[in-house]
Amino acid sequence: MVQEFDKVGVVGLGAMGAGIAEVFARAGFNVIGVEIDQAAVDRGRSHMDKSLSRAVSKGKLTEEERSGIDARLTFTTSREDLADADFVVEAVPERMDVKKDVFADLDRICPPGTILATNTSSLSVTEIAALTGRPEKVVGLHFFNPAPVMKLVEVITTVSTGEETVDVVTEVAKRIGKTPVAVGDRAGFVANALLVPYINDAVRLYERGIATRAEIDAAAQKAADLPMGPLALADLVGLDVCLAVMDVLWEENRDPRFTASPLLRRMVAAGQLGRKTGLGFHEGRSEEPEPRAESRYAEMIRDEETLDLGEILIAPQIDDALRMIGDGYASAKDVDTAMRFGCGYPKGPTELLADRGAESVVTTLMAMGEYSLTTIAVPAPLLMDQLPDAEEGQGHGGGCACHG
């Protein structure tokens, strides 16, 4: 079925949508990019021109290949031009009302066999699919920024998605050179549900005067060999995006673990969104003094042998991952793949757990609880099962049985 695909539509040509259109065109598909007006079309085309020019200058594309890609790209301001599309990806702003409008239109315009995919990073795919007369043909196809570079795509299914649709979308993802991870329709999916609470935890540590921005980022980088610390990553992702994901996680789970940091909410209200506005945790900021001397938490981090700043950031994420796996929402392999290919982690959460051993992670979480540094009351059952004294057959002391 994948070989029969020819025409792909992409609705929304912002930085993400333009990247998605480029990815499909590079893979040999004829692509129609749709935007709301000509000015938006021109901006989208400019995004692609710059990206393709960079690829040519770096020797990743030849001029001939670039010409072929350009020939497969068509731009329009009319959704009606998608009337013969085989596959359409929506990449409009992350607002349910906007996405509902797009899908109602696509359902009317496109043939019954056309698969409709949303690039939402956190909204309910089920709610979007229910607006159409073809819920079995609707999926989430969550790309990561920048789309031409990042290898991960999350394929999100609903209770209505047909098995054939999932198979086709998974094969399409592979054909465009991506690594697909199949997940159900749950807030944040895999990558954002693990990454954004970790960023939020870092914001809380900074807000409470436990450590400086530089200390927090350096500690996380050292603990997991990460290319970027959580506060620098928040600036890159966008503080508004982080807040939106936290709010979606809270709405679905109603768990204190997913309460957005007050500082994060205040910064977004002030328009301090990170790189996109030039002001964030690091963006536009000068160096800062050491944490407040009166902070008992700062003193504790420096003197308490059972706590390490980097582990304080990594342990809750490992616990979140183990809950996700234990719930049957995603496999250990898919969780690790999502974090490595979607978030740039050298090792996924279960691999980080294997390095540390369950006892070390549980000890950190328990110590954090004593100092009110986490809302996790009891570590994940799957994590507890792997303690050395766990009941025989339930775990492997000091290791990770997640892949069993």
Give me the active site residues, please. Answer: 121, 142, 154, 192
Answer for the pair 8, 168: CB distance below 8 angstroms, yes or no.
no
The closest of 4, 180, 184 to 87, measured between CA atoms, is 4
Tokens (6 digits) for 62: 């030849």
How would you classify residue 372: left for phi > 0, otherwise alpha for psi between -120 and 50, otherwise beta? left
HSE, CB side, 13 Å, CA atoms: give it for residue 159: 5
DSSP state of 114: -
Euclidean distance between CA atoms 208 and 226, whole angstroms = 23
- Can you tell me whether residue 2 is helix, strand or coil? helix
Answer for the pair 184, 159: CB distance below 8 angstroms, yes or no.
no
Give bridge partners of residue 380 from the DSSP assignment: none
Euclidean distance between CA atoms 387 and 179, whole angstroms = 33
Answer for the pair 165, 11: CB distance below 8 angstroms, yes or no.
no
Answer for the pair 364, 374: CB distance below 8 angstroms, yes or no.
no
Answer for the pair 119, 91: CB distance below 8 angstroms, yes or no.
yes
Q: Which amino acid is at 181?
A: V
Tokens (6 digits) for 339: 């974090």
Euclidean distance between CA atoms 142 and 280, whole angstroms = 26
